[in-house]
């Protein structure tokens, strides 16, 4: 099934002076603060490979633009679960949106029912009676990003502007679900970009972060998808995305380090190749 108003990918790609090449992946920088050894602890190459599997990797339009691992799937938001979410099996051949949602809620409710039963709780207890259905609806909301198309989202919000100075949107609240444990990670994201004749309406940066965070994620991939998507949509000179988040799977289980946070970053184009541009971005982020 195709997403509504799905963009013509060939046409979109034709607007970018790029040529297909072999996939290459860059490592996202990852630190966990609050732990005793503040060193990079994750080699996220594998995660990033997952993020870009089956996607077309494009060569940067400029040699100075260093490594660009972006893809049309990021923009059309069709990666990971999008198709399956909209193609949930149903007895009805031509299922409407509301019928599909009802069917998803019903199956999820049954699954949560099983979870609570396995925990050993009493499903007839007043407080738990409606919990399976309530949780099912909440889960569909937490993962509603699978049904959104970033191309539609930014439609009409890209403007021609003779601006080549750094633009930063700071402190975007982000909450997502860790794909390993299905528990939340919560934090903030800072996005900075240097335009190249086109700017995006400021509120759209938060909406883009939301679309990608309302999916099962890991922080490395979320950071990279937001950066890649903006890079592809705007074709800016450079883009930098930094995210800091606290993971409930670390706080509530495992190492149980309350207060630890994980920082990830992804820089593309001149933000990656030009030390001065990167330094300006990081200096502005540190301002109170
Ligand atoms: Zn986790």
Q: Are 170 and 285 in contact (CB under 8 A)?
A: yes
What is the CA(84)–ligand 1 centre distance, in A?
A: 23
Q: How far apart are CA 134 and CA 109, in angstroms?
A: 8
Decide: 245 and 187 in contact? Cβ < 8 Å: yes
Superfamily (CATH) of domain 84-144? GTP cyclohydrolase I, N-terminal domain (1.10.286.10)
Residues 6+ apart with CB under 8 A from 69: 23, 24, 25, 26, 48, 52, 57, 224, 228
Task: Give this prediction's pTM.
Answer: 0.73
Res 240: pLDDT? 98
| 9-74+158-286 carries CATH number 3.30.1130.10 | yes
The alpha carbon of 85 and the centre of ligand 1 are apart by a number of angstroms equal to: 22
Confidence (pLDDT) at 1: 43
What does the pLDDT profile of the chain (288 residues) look like in tens digits?
A: 444 444 433 333 333 333 333 333 344 456 555 544 333 333 333 333 333 333 333 333 333 333 333 343 455 444 545 656 665 544 555 567 788 889 999 999 999 999 999 999 999 999 999 999 999 999 999 999 999 988 888 888 999 999 889 999 999 999 999 999 999 999 999 999 999 999 999 999 999 999 999 999 999 999 999 999 999 999 999 999 999 999 999 888 866 678 889 999 999 999 999 999 999 999 999 886
How far is ligand 1, taken at its centre, from the CA of residue 44, in Å?
14
**For residue 25, what pLDDT is reported?**
38
What pLDDT score was predicted for residue 80? 47
Per-domain residue ranges of the chain:
9-74+158-286, 84-144
Span from the CA of 4 to the centroid of ligand 1 (angstroms): 32
DSSP bridge partners of 246: 186
Look at residue 199 in the predicted model and tell me its pLDDT. Answer: 95
**If we measure between CA atoms, which residue out of 8, 26, 27, 155 comes closest to residue 72?**
8
CB 113 within 8 A of CB 123: yes
| Centroid of ligand 1 to alpha carbon of 217 (angstroms) | 9
245 close to 171: Cβ distance less than 8 angstroms: no
CA dihedral 82, 247, 182, 104 (to 10 degrees): -50
**Catalytic (active-site) positions:** 178-181, 219, 247, 249
CA of 179 to the centre of ligand 1 (A): 6
Cβ–Cβ under 8 Å, residues 231 and 267 = no
What is the distance in A from the centroid of ligand 1 to the CA of 117?
23
């Amino acid at each position: 099934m195709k997403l509504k108003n799905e963009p013509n990918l060939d046409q979109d790609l034709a607007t970018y002076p790029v040529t297909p090449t072999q996939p290459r992946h860059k490592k996202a920088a990852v630190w966990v603060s609050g732990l005793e050894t503040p060193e990079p602890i994750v080699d996220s190459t594998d995660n990033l490979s997952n993020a870009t599997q089956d996607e077309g990797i494009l060569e940067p339009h400029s040699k100075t633009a260093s490594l660009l691992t972006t893809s049309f799937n990021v923009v059309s938001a069709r990666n990971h679960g999008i198709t399956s979410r909209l193609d949930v099996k149903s007895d009805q051949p031509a299922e409407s949106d509301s019928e599909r949602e009802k069917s998803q809620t019903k199956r999820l409710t049954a699954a949560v029912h099983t979870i609570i039963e396995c925990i050993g709780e009493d499903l007839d207890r007043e407080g738990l009676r409606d919990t399976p259905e309530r949780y099912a609806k909440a889960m569909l909301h937490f993962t509603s990003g699978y049904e959104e198309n970033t191309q539609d989202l930014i439609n009409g919000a890209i403007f021609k502007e003779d601006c080549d100075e750094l633009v930063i949107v700071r402190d975007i609240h982000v909450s997502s679900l860790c794909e390993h444990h299905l528990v939340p990670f919560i934090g903030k994201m800072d996005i900075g970009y240097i335009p190249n004749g086109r700017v995006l309406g400021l509120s759209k940066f938060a909406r883009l972060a939301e679309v990608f965070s309302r999916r099962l994620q890991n922080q490395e991939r979320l950071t990279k998808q937001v950066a890649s998507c903006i890079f592809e949509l705007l074709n800016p000179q450079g883009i930098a995305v930094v995210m800091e988040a606290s993971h409930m799977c670390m706080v509530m289980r495992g190492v149980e380090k309350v207060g630890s946070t994980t920082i990830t970053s992804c820089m593309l184009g001149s933000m990656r190749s030009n030390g001065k541009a990167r330094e300006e971005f990081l200096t502005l982020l540190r301002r109170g």
